[in-house]
């Protein structure tokens, strides 16, 4: 029995590194035997600011925020700066009463300057459109609507910078209770500027709204009824210009999935909104999309990678407080079908894999939860890709009952696997110089996390060791495989009797260390389509 348990544990550990590789690739490449010389990490002075920013959360401390109080970020480069805007959410509601869709900027993606709101009040068209629609169905106007300001997306389109933004109306459609009535519509609007540095915008009005499709009524059968009166929820916009010059708005949240809506390039709006069909086509769902109008996915972000020839649709799964996680699927066509790494059709409701982020914790730190609703963007000069989202501290961290409302902006580098899938770095970007990692530096102990889906559970690390005789050793001291390293490409390959996993190696900033310091990380995808994260600890 003991032998069976030991063999089983080795087999399970080996499964963490599975990937689709040929037999030839499984064979370690002969390399010189590494020495046992002490490993010296490069010298670098990285970020030192606190992850728990409670003492700086107030509006009066906004000049010191850096990436504090970030939720649903969008990032775009203009001139020498990256600009980031966001949802109005903040710890202690610090942003309330100070405008909307706040902007900040950075030259290095590490140090961010707070710039203030992009708009002071809701544009007049929101109330006008709302009450015109209410009048057409025989309802009285809402004199002073209560608004929520959510999830902008900033993109360059021609010589303009466009901001697509979400404004939701909180009041119930009929009556006074949201338990017996759906709340009012959500709207996506458009504003433009010639230069993000000015933070001066010209509003262009409504693009799309949450429109009734006749399948459900405005009434709601209690708080457990999530079968909404509209088909697509008009929040969480993302914008893309295709290589052919077409422009598309990608939007939606929870209700019946994610929509793609073709725009007129001259106006940035659809040509018509006369029937429900004019509001877009569904390109992603979750579960039984034929009957289920309540689907736990939102925050779509879409990019096109010319090196792979695919469109990539990133979506947030589950609730935003703790379980939030990021999935991705891809397609050769902007309208799909979008398919996961397992070949399943996400446009028809299949679960999207790979999962790029998940609640997790390396040792010596609380770790992060609620890591999703991302921005994916590129350095136009170096062509490097980056991922940005909020990360929340766990519930009741440090005895603070509101710690889960602490939302730190995360920026992480992306690398692409040989078969064209994105993988997000296990550590936040800190500007550590991108120099080659020597082979001998890989020898030693690592924390390794496999991003398996567990609802509301933080993934925790196991310890592995890479030895000087090219063995991969588990925490129980048993060898489960071998390793080899392509120093030119920075690819570590861990091979088992089952298959091999290729992992991108790079210098990174050890945010969990005290004091923080340079470390080495790896990241890749195993043959089960699961992301593997690793961090050198000694």
191-234 pLDDT tens trace: 999 999 999 999 999 999 999 999 999 999 999 999 999 999 99
Residue 2, Ramachandran bin (φ over 0: left; ψ between -120 and 50: alpha; else beta): alpha
Q: Tell me, what's the pLDDT at 307?
A: 97
In terms of residues, how long is the chain?
538
Among candidate residues 469, 416, 449, the one with its CA nearest the CA of residue 534: 449
CA 162 to chain centre: 21
Measure the CA–CA gap between 442 and 519, rounded to whole angstroms. Answer: 11
Is the Cβ–Cβ distance between 524 and 533 less than 8 Å? no
Measure the CA–CA gap between 412 and 147, rounded to whole angstroms. Answer: 32
Q: Tell me, what's the pLDDT at 39?
A: 60
- Same domain for 250 and 356, yes or no, is yes
- Same domain for 302 and 260, yes or no, is yes
Q: Which residues are CB-neighbours of 2 under 8 A, at least 6 positions away?
A: none
- Same domain for 409 and 479, yes or no, is no
Q: Tell me, what's the pLDDT at 41?
A: 84
Q: Which residues are CB-neighbours of 52 under 8 A, at least 6 positions away?
A: 393, 397, 398, 400, 403, 406
Measure the CA–CA gap between 112 and 388, rounded to whole angstroms. Answer: 13
Cα–Cα distances in angstroms (integers) from residue 75 to residues 72, 375, 432, in the given order:
10, 6, 20
> How many CB atoms neighbour CB 150 within 10 A?
25
Q: Tell me, what's the pLDDT at 443?
A: 97
Question: Which CATH number belongs to the domain containing residue 317 in this structure?
Answer: 2.115.10.20
- Same domain for 371 and 304, yes or no, is yes
Measure the CA–CA gap between 365 and 361, rounded to whole angstroms. Answer: 7
21-60 pLDDT tens trace: 333 333 333 444 444 445 668 899 999 999 999 999 999 9
- Same domain for 16 and 97, yes or no, is no
Is the Cβ–Cβ distance between 119 and 202 less than 8 Å? no
Average pLDDT of the residues in 518-524: 98
Q: Decide which of 394, 424, 454 is a domain's last residue.
A: 424
Average pLDDT of the residues in 275-281: 95
Q: Tell me, what's the pLDDT at 33?
A: 44
Q: Tell me, what's the pLDDT at 14?
A: 44
Question: What is the band of 373 on the pLDDT scale with cuts at 50, 70, 90?
Answer: very high
Please name the helix (run of DSSP H) or strand (run of DSSP E) that holds residue 221, with its range, or none. none
Q: Tell me, what's the pLDDT at 475?
A: 86
- Three-state secondary structure call for residue 135: helix
Q: Decide which of 355, 389, 424 is a domain's last residue.
A: 424
Residue 524, token pair as written in the block: 């890749």
407-456 pLDDT tens trace: 999 999 999 999 999 999 999 999 999 999 999 999 999 999 999 999 99
Residue 320 lies in a domain: yes
Residue 359 belongs to what domain range? 66-424
Residue 432 lies in a domain: no
C-alpha dihedral (348, 351, 357, 362), degrees to nearest 10: 180
- Same domain for 218 and 364, yes or no, is yes
- Same domain for 379 and 448, yes or no, is no
Question: What is the band of 1 on the pLDDT scale with cuts at 50, 70, 90?
Answer: very low
291-324 pLDDT tens trace: 888 999 999 999 999 999 999 999 999 999 999 9
Residue 238 lies in a domain: yes
* Angle subtended at Cα 166 by Cα 261 and Cα 182, rounded to the nearest 5 degrees: 95
Judged against a pLDDT cut of 90, whether residue 394 lies above it is answered with yes
Domain count, the chain: 2
Measure the CA–CA gap between 420 and 510, rounded to whole angstroms. Answer: 27
Each as own residue / partner, the long-range contacts of residues 112-118 (CB below 8 Å, 24 or more positions apart, any chain) are: 112/65, 112/66, 112/67, 112/84, 112/409, 114/62, 114/63, 114/65, 115/199, 116/199, 118/85, 118/152, 118/163, 118/191, 118/199, 118/201
Residue 96 lies in a domain: yes
Residue 176 lies in a domain: yes
Residue 80, token pair as written in the block: 């020498």
Q: Helix/strand/coil (H, E, C) string of 408-434?
A: EEEEEEEEECCCCCEEECCCCCCCCCC
Judged against a pLDDT cut of 60, whether residue 16 lies above it is answered with no
Q: What share of the chain is helix, strand, coil (3-state, %, to 5)?
A: 10, 40, 50
Average pLDDT of the residues in 56-68: 98
Is the Cβ–Cβ distance between 448 and 475 less than 8 Å? no
Among candidate residues 241, 236, 233, the one with its CA nearest the CA of residue 268: 241
> How many CB atoms neighbour CB 336 within 10 A?
22
Residue 429 lies in a domain: no
Residue 309, Ramachandran bin (φ over 0: left; ψ between -120 and 50: alpha; else beta): left
Is the Cβ–Cβ distance between 113 and 88 less than 8 Å? no
Residue 205 lies in a domain: yes
Please name the helix (run of DSSP H) or strand (run of DSSP E) that holds residue 457, with its range, or none. none
Q: Which residues are CB-neighbours of 56 under 8 A, at least 6 positions away?
A: 50, 64, 65, 68
- Same domain for 128 and 267, yes or no, is yes
Measure the CA–CA gap between 483 and 515, rounded to whole angstroms. Answer: 30
Judged against a pLDDT cut of 90, whether residue 149 lies above it is answered with yes
Residue 160 lies in a domain: yes
Tell me the pTM: 0.93
Average pLDDT of the residues in 477-506: 95
Q: Which residues are CB-neighbours of 276 under 8 A, at least 6 positions away?
A: 211, 213, 214, 231
Measure the CA–CA gap between 523 and 504, rounded to whole angstroms. Answer: 5
- Three-state secondary structure call for residue 73: coil
Is the Cβ–Cβ distance between 126 and 205 less than 8 Å? no
Measure the CA–CA gap between 518 and 536, rounded to whole angstroms. Answer: 10
- Same domain for 240 and 336, yes or no, is yes
Is the Cβ–Cβ distance between 163 and 191 less than 8 Å? yes
Measure the CA–CA gap between 126 and 132, rounded to whole angstroms. Answer: 10
Judged against a pLDDT cut of 80, whether residue 278 lies above it is answered with yes
For the chain, how big is the Rg over CA atoms in Å?
A: 24
Is the Cβ–Cβ distance between 237 and 165 less than 8 Å? yes
Q: Tell me, what's the pLDDT at 495?
A: 95
Among candidate residues 83, 85, 84, 81, the one with its CA nearest the CA of residue 107: 81
- Same domain for 418 and 455, yes or no, is no
Q: Tell me, what's the pLDDT at 12?
A: 37
Question: Which CATH number belongs to the domain containing residue 512 in this structure?
Answer: 2.40.128.10
On average, the pLDDT of the chain sits at 92
- Percentage of residues of the chain with pLDDT beyond 70: 93
Among candidate residues 325, 200, 208, 193, the one with its CA nearest the CA of residue 263: 208
- Same domain for 297 and 247, yes or no, is yes
- Same domain for 226 and 362, yes or no, is yes
Measure the CA–CA gap between 408 and 485, rounded to whole angstroms. Answer: 35
Q: Tell me, what's the pLDDT at 480?
A: 93
């Amino acid at each position: 029995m003991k032998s069976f348990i030991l063999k089983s544990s080795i087999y399970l550990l080996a499964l963490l590194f599975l990937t689709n590789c040929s037999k030839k690739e499984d064979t370690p490449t002969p390399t010189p035997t590494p020495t046992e010389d002490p490993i010296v990490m490069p010298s670098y002075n990285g970020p030192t600011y606190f992850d728990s920013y409670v003492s700086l959360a107030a509006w009066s401390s906004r000049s010191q925020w850096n990436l504090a109080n970030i939720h649903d970020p969008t990032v775009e480069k203009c001139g020498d700066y990256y600009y980031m805007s966001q949802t109005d959410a903040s710890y202690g509601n610090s942003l309330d009463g100070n405008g909307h869709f706040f902007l900040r900027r950075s030259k290095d993606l590490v140090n961010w300057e707070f710039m203030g709101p992009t708009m002071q009040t809701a544009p007049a068209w929101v109330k006008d459109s709302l009450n015109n629609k209410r009048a057409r169905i025989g309802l009285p106007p809402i004199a002073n609507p209560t608004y929520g300001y959510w999830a902008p997306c900033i993109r360059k389109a021609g010589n303009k910078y466009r901001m697509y933004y979400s404004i939701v109306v909180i009041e119930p459609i009929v009556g006074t209770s949201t338990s017996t009535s759906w709340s009012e519509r959500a709207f996506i609007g458009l504003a433009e500027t010639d230069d993000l540095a000015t933070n001066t915008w010209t509003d262009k009005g409504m693009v799309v709204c949450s429109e009734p499709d006749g399948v459900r009524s405005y009434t709601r059968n209690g708080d457990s009824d999530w079968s909404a009166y509209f088909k697509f929820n008009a929040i969480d916009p993302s914008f893309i210009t295709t290589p052919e010059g077409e422009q598309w708005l990608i939007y939606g949240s929870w209700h019946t999935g994610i929509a793609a809506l073709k725009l007129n390039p001259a106006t940035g709006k659809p040509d018509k909104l006369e029937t429900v069909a004019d509001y877009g086509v569904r390109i992603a769902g979750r579960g039984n999309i034929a009957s289920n109008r309540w689907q736990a996915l939102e925050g779509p972000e879409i990019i096109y990678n010319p090196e792979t020839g695919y469109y990539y649709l990133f979506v947030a799964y589950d609730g935003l407080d703790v379980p939030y996680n990021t999935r991705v699927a891809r397609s050769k066509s902007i309208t799909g079908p979008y398919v996961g790494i397992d070949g399943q059709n996400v446009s028809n409701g299949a679960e999207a894999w790979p999962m790029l982020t998940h609640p997790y914790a390396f040792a010596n730190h609380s770790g992060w939860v609620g890591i999703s609703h991302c921005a994916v963007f590129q350095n136009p000069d170096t062509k490097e890709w980056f991922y940005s989202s909020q990360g929340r501290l766990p519930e009741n961290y440090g005895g603070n009952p509101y710690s889960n409302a602490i939302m730190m902006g995360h920026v992480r580098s992306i690398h692409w696997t040989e078969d064209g899938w994105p993988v997000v770095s296990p550590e936040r970007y800190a500007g550590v110089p991108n120099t080659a990692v020597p082979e001998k530096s890989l020898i030693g102990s690592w924390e390794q996390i496999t991003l398996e889906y567990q609802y509301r559970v933080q993934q925790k690390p196991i310890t592995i060791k890479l030895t000087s005789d090219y063995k991969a050793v588990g925490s129980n001291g048993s060898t489960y495989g071998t390793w080899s390293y392509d120093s030119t490409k920075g690819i570590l390959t861990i091979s088992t009797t089952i298959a091999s996993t290729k992992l991108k190696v790079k210098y990174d900033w050890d945010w969990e260390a005290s004091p923080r310091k340079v470390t080495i990380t790896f990241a890749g995808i195993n043959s089960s389509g699961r992301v593997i994260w690793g961090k050198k600890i000694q």
